[in-house]
Amino acid sequence: MAPVQVNRTVAASAGPVGLDTSTESRRRCSVLRVGAGLLALGVAALGIALLPSAGSGTVGTGLAWLGWLVGVALLLLAAAEAFELVELTVHTPSEAGERPAGSDVEPFVSFHLPICAEPPELVARTLLALRALHHDRFEVLVVDNNTDDTALWRPIERLCRELGPRFRFFHLPRWPGYKAGALNFALAHTVPEASVVAVIDCDYEVAPEFVADLVGHFADARVAFVQAPQDYRDWEGQALTRMFYWEYWQFFAVSMRLRRPRNAILMHGTMVMIRKAALLGVGGWAEWCLTEDSELGLRLLAAGYCGVYCSQTYGRGLVPFSSRAYRRQRERWVTGGVQTVRRHWRLFLPWARQLTTAQKLHYLQGWAPWLRDGIIVASLPLITVLALFSLGFADTPQPVVPLSSAALTLVTYLLVRQIIVYGPYLRRPWSNWVEAGLAIFGLVPSVGRAWLRGWFATGLVFHRTPKQPQPRNTNLAGVSCELVAGLIMLMLAAGILVRFGAEGSWAAAGLGAYAALFLSSVCFEVIEQWAACGYSDRAESTAASTSSSPGRRHNRRGEPEARTGMGR
């Protein structure tokens, strides 16, 4: 099937389809709109305001100018992020168009479930949930790859036989390509009558209505994939997992819903249905990429197809069991994003026509925080040298002011963003934005290193996220670099205050902002140690509980509604 070419002239002039632009909605968020707009403009203007200090007296050195350039880059990236808040406050995303129109056609759906050394009890719950789907025409292909322990995959093989012929199991002792390799194998073994491929992770319990509610979108030949939220269960009981959850959820509650009207949906590797002909037409899954899912979504959009995002939760998986697993998962996502940029950067050139301008901007805006974190990590030696230069050779703290001011402004922006998103928009209590904010801060060093590694490292390895508790460190060895960097920033800030007094307060505050970004990672480990006894409880509830609802709903602002049971 040839890729469907979308009329980009019509798409560009169609306006914000699916967004509530009523007078009442505009009035309700007018204060936030003004505040977010002023924040975006103020962040960008601060860099220009700091220009004179970079060239005055002893500050006019090469290092000081470099510090100013890095600071302005951070401020511009923060301003680019802030415009998402402006759009959020101007337009309230609606649920219009999420449910497809009724159709007499019932496509055959092939579920692909790649697994690697996963707990058999967990995979069994996923398969039993699939058996209860309210859809008659489907199959399930379980592809176990690179698992040596027969005690892990033999029980799943037996369960698939017991569940009947629509459940097929494949064991691949040695198979290349990581998850993408397993998915390509499943694609090659899909029954010919299947027209839709659904991919879920092995820990996701799917709601019975998942296919029945959303498969009708494929009646539109332009639609290549339908994405539901990547949601989670069993996260409420621990402070650490609450941090993870609320940091995850803001992307689906805000960014994905703003991307939807511009056909700029980011595909995820779970809770997604894909038109098989489109998947084959763009060459299948990319085995060279650590984030084969988002890379495929970009290729499908570039081929002229459309993606659909439904904000209704239709399945829930497990959040990472440790801060280390959480950070490594994000590092893989970021490194895969860099791989995607390196392979497809030509799509984002101004004269490239495969993507619309809105699609380019949404993808670039999504990568901006990762670039920002990469700059923060890379600039750590620079701000250290500038602070030491100010302490030892300058009569003023001005050499460090531009970069430290940018860091302070960035931290302030992130805090304000959390308040806006979780307060007036999601209407969550203050504790949730604090938890999410700490998670965002704590990820900065890991994301920054992963962004830099993606550009310069070779032989990158796919690190799967463990689906059960792993042995934990009883010390802070896993975040020793972050701890040292944060303490150095605090000592430099104290030195600036002692050396220059009130004159150095602004520079010291900026150094303190750097310290906060690095020491937040240490907070992950401290919180994990405090809650160590709770992980075993969570593991037991994960394996034994039958009361969690994979279809637990969220209201239109992304707030979880009350549980209603398996079948809702």
pLDDT in tens, 443-463: 999 999 999 999 987 766 666
Asked if residue 548 has pLDDT above 80, the reply is no
User: Torsion over CA of 454, 421, 513 and 73, rounded to 10 degrees?
Assistant: 50
> How far is Cα 32 from Cα 287, in angstroms, rounded to an integer?
43
Separation of first and last alpha carbons in the chain: 38
How many Cβ atoms from other residues are within 10 Å of residue 195's Cβ? 18
The mean predicted confidence, pLDDT, of the chain is 83
Q: What is the mean predicted confidence (pLDDT) over 179-192?
A: 97
CATH numbers and ranges of domains, the chain: 108-230+268-319 (3.90.550.10)
The percent of residues above 70 in pLDDT, for the chain, comes to: 77
CB 75 within 8 A of CB 397: no
**Owner of token pair 């101007």:** 90
Residue 304: pLDDT band (50, 70, 90) is very high
What amino acid is encoded at 80 in this protein? A
> What's residue 470's pLDDT?
60
> What's residue 489's pLDDT?
97
Give burial (CB, 10 Å; 0-12/13-18/19+) of 27: exposed
CB 310 within 8 A of CB 256: no
Q: What is the mean predicted confidence (pLDDT) over 391-417?
A: 89
**Owner of token pair 């698939």:** 160
CB 330 within 8 A of CB 251: no
pTM of the model: 0.84
What angle, rounded to 10 degrees, do the helices at 62-90 and 357-378 form?
A: 140
The tens digit of pLDDT for each residue in 2-46 reads: 443 333 332 332 322 333 334 434 444 444 455 555 555 565 555
Residue 95 structure tokens: 């649920």
> How far is Cα 376 from Cα 567, in angstroms, rounded to an integer?
47
Q: What is the mean predicted confidence (pLDDT) over 401-427?
A: 88
> What's residue 95's pLDDT?
61
Residue 49: pLDDT band (50, 70, 90) is low
Radius of gyration of the chain (CA): 25
> How far is Cα 295 from Cα 346, in angstroms, rounded to an integer?
14
Q: What is the mean predicted confidence (pLDDT) over 338-350?
A: 96
